[in-house]
Amino acid sequence: MWRTSGFRLPNTKCMILVDMWKRLQHSNVVQLREVFTTKSFGDYSIIFVYDYHPGSETLLSKHFSQTEPMNGYTDPFSADPNAPRPYSHQKNTLLRQQATSMLPESVIWNYIIQITSALRVIHAAGLACRTLDPSKILLAGKSRIRLGCLAIADVLTFDATAPNPLHLIPHYQQDDLTALGKLVLALACRSLIAVQRENVQTSLDLVARSYSTDLRNLIMYLLTNQQQQHKTVTDLMPMIGARFYTQLDAVQIRADVLEDELSKEMENGRLCRLLVKLGTINERPELSLDPTWSETGDRYMLKLFRDYLLHQVSEDGRPWLDMAHVVQCLNKFDAGSPEKICLMSRDEQSILVVSYAELKHCLELSFEEVLSAAIKTE
């Protein structure tokens, strides 16, 4: 995925951070590939090149887009969701929002595990995410989380006058954990206004009512601001607890499903190559100055096999199309099965009985012949 952010001149020193980000690889992080400046857009721009994950959407659009109108009920305040509202109205909105579209707790834990997994590696690498925002977190498929837009904040807010570019990282790491707390709270309430300072208490009550104590403790721990306490991702692990096992099981099952599908689809590549080989031989205009090459000898058998494969007709002369027939025959052909089939010449005057193994042998010989002709004088 490419993201451009125009109008900036970078300080070359910040490339230390960019290099650290480029080295960071994790399955829950959108990999940064390259950062460069360009004038191609007619201004001073800096371009961040990331891996592209097709079909992903942000957590913001997935869980926080207020779309469904509530069965005809129109909200008098809904024109501008950010307009100031009476307190009780905000509270009601929160309650209604949560009641209508609560996320299953397992989904929230799934996100927490993946985000903490990424944060753990980021923090261990001496970096901070700084953009832990629903609009920057990508969701691929149903459940795979990836943190995006990493390194952008580091580059754009880079202070070249600071003695050490890494000086503020520990501070930003604590900010990451607070941001995670806000994110989880917002997800649990399905509303971004839930994390506004004046609503936090209401939101926490909501969480306590609907979700497990573990989830509430986790949010409390992350949002409580104790200056002397240095928080780390590892502290969250006991609250996540045995949910790690659930998560592992889910990912392993997904890998199994993919492997199953893959083993089915692998066959396609094989059949495709077989068809190309067969096609290379059938109807070839000439080989080694012999214009009848593809019509004689072994090639004639392959031509008849091609007809058997693709040009069968039913008794009353209608074409007979059956993909299963094609695939089955090609598989037996490729395996060199000893099974025999009847090939009929086009004039219906002669019938050849031949096994798949013999046909395969014909294919190999003929293709070898084409191949050696191809490389003869090279």
Binding site for a second copy (CB under 8 A): 26-28, 113-114, 116-117, 120-121, 144, 234, 237-238, 241-242, 244-245, 247-249, 251-256, 258-259, 261-262, 265-266, 268-269, 271-273, 275-276, 279-280, 282-285, 287, 289, 306-307, 309-311, 314, 316-321, 323, 326, 346, 370-371, 373-378
Contact between 115 and 180 (Cβ < 8 Å): yes
| Least distance in angstroms from the C-beta of 32 to a second copy | 17
* DSSP track, 227-274: TT----GGGGHHHHTTHHHHHHHHHHHHHHHHHHHHHHHHHHHHHHHH
- Of 48 and 293, nearer to a second copy (C-beta) is 293
* DSSP track, 39-66: -TTSS-EEEEEE---TT-EEHHHHHS--
- Of 22 and 306, nearer to a second copy (C-beta) is 306
- Of 56 and 203, nearer to a second copy (C-beta) is 56
- Of 275 and 352, nearer to a second copy (C-beta) is 275
| Least distance in angstroms from the C-beta of 170 to a second copy | 19
| Least distance in angstroms from the C-beta of 26 to a second copy | 6
For 176, residues 6+ apart whose C-beta sits below 8 A from its C-beta are: 119, 122, 123, 128, 129, 130, 132
| Least distance in angstroms from the C-beta of 157 to a second copy | 29
- Of 51 and 159, nearer to a second copy (C-beta) is 51
| Least distance in angstroms from the C-beta of 293 to a second copy | 10
For 200, residues 6+ apart whose C-beta sits below 8 A from its C-beta are: 185, 194, 223
| Least distance in angstroms from the C-beta of 144 to a second copy | 7
Count of beta carbons in the 10 Å neighbourhood of residue 12? 8
| Least distance in angstroms from the C-beta of 59 to a second copy | 18
- Of 22 and 120, nearer to a second copy (C-beta) is 120
| Least distance in angstroms from the C-beta of 108 to a second copy | 16
- Of 143 and 355, nearer to a second copy (C-beta) is 143
- Of 112 and 206, nearer to a second copy (C-beta) is 112
- Of 232 and 337, nearer to a second copy (C-beta) is 232
**Of the candidates 4, 124, 114, 119, the residue with the CA atom closest to the CA atom of residue 59:** 114
**Of the candidates 180, 188, 178, the residue with the CA atom closest to the CA atom of residue 106:** 188
Kind and range of the H or E element at 139?
A: strand 137-140
Q: What's the rounded Cα separation, in Å, for the pair 248 and 254?
A: 10
Q: What's the rounded Cα separation, in Å, for the pair 1 and 3?
A: 7
Burial annotation 233-254 (CB, 10 A radius, 16+ → b, else e): beebeebbeebeeebeeebeee
Instruction: Tell me how many helices (H) and strands (E) the chain has.
Output: 13, 8
| Least distance in angstroms from the C-beta of 42 to a second copy | 30
